[in-house]
Structure 1
Amino acid sequence: MSAILELSNSCADIVAAAGAAIVAINPGKRVSPSGIHWRKGLIVTSDESLQSHDELSIVSATGTMPITLLGRDPSTDIAVFTLADAESLPVATVGDTATLKVGHLVWGIARSPEGDVRATMGAVSILGSSWQSMSGGMIDCYLRPDLTLYRGFAGGALVDATGRVVGMNTMGKRGTALTIPSETIDRVVNQLAAKGRIARGYLGVGMQPVRLSPQLSAALNLTVPTGVILINVEPQSPADIGGLLLGDILMSWDGIPLLDPSDVRALLNRGDRVGQDVKIGIIRGGALVELSIEIGER
């Protein structure tokens, strides 16, 4: 058997195995997104691709089944549905985007309203750090595959060469493929399964960026040029209770540098520290101070 034929057969095997956990959402006259059986009884799909979240069903290789909305997070483009009869539907084998490199082969896998598995093949084009969506959602890494997402492919899986699902494909700007990584999906699914909603952190402060003077940076051995100065602290807010004062300059969050108010908002939007203590490093009176503040929920 030639090497090309072996590669072709391997690709087909990857698509067939991973495609068993891919479904079509609410088939009908209009084009509907695909979805992923992420965990037993939980279907994940692209939130912005749904016109409605009511009275939906899925089509899998074994037939049609109703699903019920568990919760949604438009800021990360993730909607999660529950599936009552999940025994007959294989669960996706979820991977980690940390294993990916630019140039790795990947597949976009979807399912048609008629029940057929569909696939498109390409490579990882861009792999970057975490980013914040236009609506404030924290996405764990910037993952853009060089794939053509045909109609109905939004909400489907991005699959690596080991057959693992490393994310959910959605439409980026100008119709290009963009992938919500598995780490983000896991975090959103965990929160929705636990609370039925996405928790957003709350400090209760007004902020603006501030440039640090060379003299202050030298005196405190700082390597960053800016911080975040507090211009308002709401009474009885987590910030007020935790001891933050007007004029404090926020410099770090559990060791993560805070260069701009957007850095603070991004960490609060993650919601994974709601109800927990966070070490906030500040400049107060020309000295570095660290406060422990319990993050509230917005």
Structure 2
Amino acid sequence: MTDPSPLSSLSSALADIVARTAPSIVSVHSHRSRSTGFVWKPGLIVTADEALADEGAVQIGLPDGSTAAATIAGRDHTTDVALLRADATIAPVKLGATVPALGTLSVVVAADRDTPSAALGMVSASGKSWRSLRGGDIDSRIELDLRLRDSQEGGLALDASGEAFGMAVLGPRRVLVIPTATIERVAAQLEVRGRIARGYLGLGLQPVRLDDGVGAMVMNVDKAGPSAAAGIRQGDVIVAVNDQKLSGVRALSRALGPASVGTVVDVAVRRGGEPASFKVTIGERPEA
């Protein structure tokens, strides 16, 4: 009997990886939207937040073909991680800690039309941490050269050894991976609090052009917010924070991440053309 060819051995290894992972993969149904999720802990399922409807009931399709009701335990729009609770006995996956190297093979195991599915591709980008357009801190930049259907978003990305390194999501022009470090960090907070703490200044801001750069005009002030307590008023123009010139309102908003809550910042403003400075203790953004 001849030894199997390298291609045959690779094919068998990939099929084995998919077969081991598929029992922990579920389909997620929410208000005309279908996506994929995976069991993070017993009774807790991680899925892609952007694929989850904003309202209505959530149901999951289990590997045995049955369905179960699920509730949203928490969601974070900025990192695209959502956590569901479901009364279903499914073994959780083991998330790895490594970031795959550029050019390595990757398999995404997902659900497509309520049946297990898999996609094979290559890691086309593997780099440092980055910040999403919504202000979320993503621990590693990982992109995959493969195609996924909408229903496969939220699937589990595995390396050639079968280790899970993140959740596959659909970017504007490519498939991105939310790495396991981000998932573990965010899902742990969602499990306990149901939300991710975000910094809050209590200001409504409008960008304005200045002779020496840009500023942010205070259009309204939350009377119960931290900026009002510090003495900032409507009509003030913020020009710097902690001695760094303001680069824009969006940049200021992105700086108000979870780590900012409780910190004290020096806010430099112009009031009636005159400079003024205030120390503001960043609060926690109230729930909408």
TM-score of the two chains, using structure 1 as the length reference: 0.71
Q: Which residue in the other structure is 2:131 paired with?
A: 131
Q: Which residue in the other structure is 2:274 paired with?
A: none
- Greater strand share, structure number: 2
Count how many residue pairs are aligned between Structure 1 and Structure 2: 272
Q: Which residue in the other structure is 1:59 paired with?
A: 62
- Structure 1 position 258, deviation (Å): 6.5
Q: Distance in 1 between matches of 2:33 and 2:253?
A: 35
- Structure 1 position 193, deviation (Å): 2.0
Q: Distance in 1 between matches of 2:122 and 2:211?
A: 43
Do residues 83 (structure 1) and 71 (structure 2) align? no
Query: Tell me, what secondary structure is at the counterpart of 2:142?
Result: strand
Q: How does 1:243-258 map to 2 (within 5 A)?
A: 246=236, 249-251=239-241
Q: How does 1:1-298 map to 2 (within 5 A)?
A: 1=3, 2-26=5-29, 32-50=34-52, 53-61=56-64, 63-86=66-89, 89-96=90-97, 99-113=99-113, 115=115, 117-127=116-126, 129-133=129-133, 136-140=134-138, 141-150=140-149, 152-173=151-172, 176-205=174-203, 206=205, 208=207, 231=218, 234=221, 235=223, 237-242=225-230, 246=236, 249-251=239-241, 259-268=247-256, 270=257, 272-273=258-259, 276-280=261-265, 293-298=281-286
- Structure 1 position 54, deviation (Å): 0.6
Whether the 8 Å contact between 2:102 and 2:125 is mirrored in structure 1 is yes
Unaligned runs of 5+ in 1: 214-225
Query: Tell me, what secondary structure is at the counterpart of 1:60?
Result: coil
Q: Distance in 2 between matches of 1:45 and 1:19?
A: 15
Give the letter for the 1:130 counterpart: W
Query: Tell me, what secondary structure is at the counterpart of 1:167?
Result: strand
Q: Distance in 1 between matches of 2:78 and 2:284?
A: 20
Quickly say closer, same or farther: Cα 1:131–1:258, change in 2 above 3 A.
Answer: farther
Quickly say closer, same or farther: Cα 1:163–1:244, change in 2 above 3 A.
Answer: farther
Quickly say closer, same or farther: Cα 1:257–1:58, change in 2 above 3 A.
Answer: farther
Whether the 8 Å contact between 1:18 and 1:93 is mirrored in structure 2 is no
Quickly say closer, same or farther: Cα 1:259–1:232, change in 2 above 3 A.
Answer: same
Whether the 8 Å contact between 1:48 and 1:74 is mirrored in structure 2 is yes
Alignment root-mean-square deviation, CA: 3.9
Query: Tell me, what secondary structure is at the counterpart of 2:21?
Result: helix
Deviation per residue, 1:248-273 (Å, 9 max, x gap)? 643459xx9964332221232x4x24
Give the letter for the 1:277 counterpart: G
Percent sequence identity over aligned pairs: 28
Query: Tell me, what secondary structure is at the counterpart of 2:152?
Result: coil
Deviation per residue, 1:229-257 (Å, 9 max, x gap)? 6656835531343577855643459xx99
Q: Distance in 1 between matches of 2:246 and 2:16?
A: 46
Query: Tell me, what secondary structure is at the counterpart of 1:71?
Result: strand
Quickly say closer, same or farther: Cα 1:19–1:153, change in 2 above 3 A.
Answer: same
Whether the 8 Å contact between 1:44 and 1:80 is mirrored in structure 2 is yes
